[in-house]
């Protein structure tokens, strides 16, 4: 998993509330178990017409936001079914951080497992960040995980809370497998000792 330390990037304003996981990645794209390749179908039903043409009004289709790395979203982002394909699609598109007032629990947890930082902020802060994101590609927002701050293009900063263990994992690029591999020498020692004590197993 790629480390997340500090990110300065284009933020896209997406003020819709209750964006569910079927909106993020529609059900017809859930046939794969690969984490890559889903970015082209991110927000598919909002980005494209039924015959595959881009909908110009959708924010991620606008030239200023094609390289978006941060989403500023409305309340209750990631609700609906628990599909892990939703963070896979966001990450494959290039989005590393989603900022909202609240998230659905399962989506929130899945983000951390896949290298995406979900940040909860008060409505007043989200409103300011949303306005800043509306300035387009020239207004870049900075997310500093180590310092736990989000800073607008004009220098206004907001602190955010993050669980210490999840912060450690993101800063070091550790998913569950990576955490296990950190203990590989202890695991090998345990298995060798168990084999010596119970060779018949």
Does residue 28 form part of some domain?
A: yes
Does residue 49 form part of some domain?
A: yes
Dist. CA 78–CA 119, nearest whole Å: 13
Residue 149 CA, distance from chain mean position: 16
Dist. CA 5–CA 144, nearest whole Å: 6
Does residue 182 form part of some domain?
A: no
Q: How many domains does the chain have?
A: 1
Q: What CATH number has the domain bearing residue 148?
A: 3.20.19.10
Q: Among candidates 90, 147, 93, which has minimal Cα distance to 113?
A: 90
Dist. CA 44–CA 49, nearest whole Å: 9
Which residue range is the domain that position 73 belongs to?
6-175
pTM: 0.88
The confidence score (pLDDT) of residue 36 equals 83
Does residue 164 form part of some domain?
A: yes
Does residue 194 form part of some domain?
A: no
Does residue 15 form part of some domain?
A: yes
Residues of the chain with pLDDT under 50: none
Q: Please spell the DSSP secondary structure of 97-131, one letter per residue.
A: EEEES-B-HHHHHHHHHTT-EEEE--HHHHHHHHH
Q: Among candidates 118, 85, 104, which has minimal Cα distance to 18?
A: 104
């Amino acid at each position: 998993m790629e480390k997340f330390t500090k990110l300065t990037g284009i933020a896209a304003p997406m003020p819709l509330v209750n964006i569910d996981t079927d909106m993020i990645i529609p059900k017809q794209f859930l046939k794969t178990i690969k984490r890559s390749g889903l970015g082209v179908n991110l927000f598919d039903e909002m980005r494209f017409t039924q015959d595959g043409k881009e909908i110009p009004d959708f924010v991620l289709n606008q030239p200023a936001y094609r390289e978006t790395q941060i989403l500023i979203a409305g309340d209750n982002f990631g609700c609906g079914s628990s599909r892990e394909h939703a963070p896979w699609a966001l990450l494959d598109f290039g989005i590393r951080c989603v900022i909202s007032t609240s998230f659905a629990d399962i989506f929130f947890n899945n983000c951390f497992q896949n290298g995406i930082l979900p940040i909860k902020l008060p409505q007043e802060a989200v409103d300011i960040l949303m306005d800043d994101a509306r300035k387009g590609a020239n207004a870049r927002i900075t997310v500093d995980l180590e310092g736990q701050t989000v800073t607008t293009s004009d220098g206004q900063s907001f602190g955010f809370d993050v669980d210490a263990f999840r912060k450690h994992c993101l800063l070091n690029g550790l998913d569950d497998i990576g955490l296990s591999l950190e203990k590989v020498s202890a695991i090998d020692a345990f298995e060798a000792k168990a084999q010596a004590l119970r060779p018949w197993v």
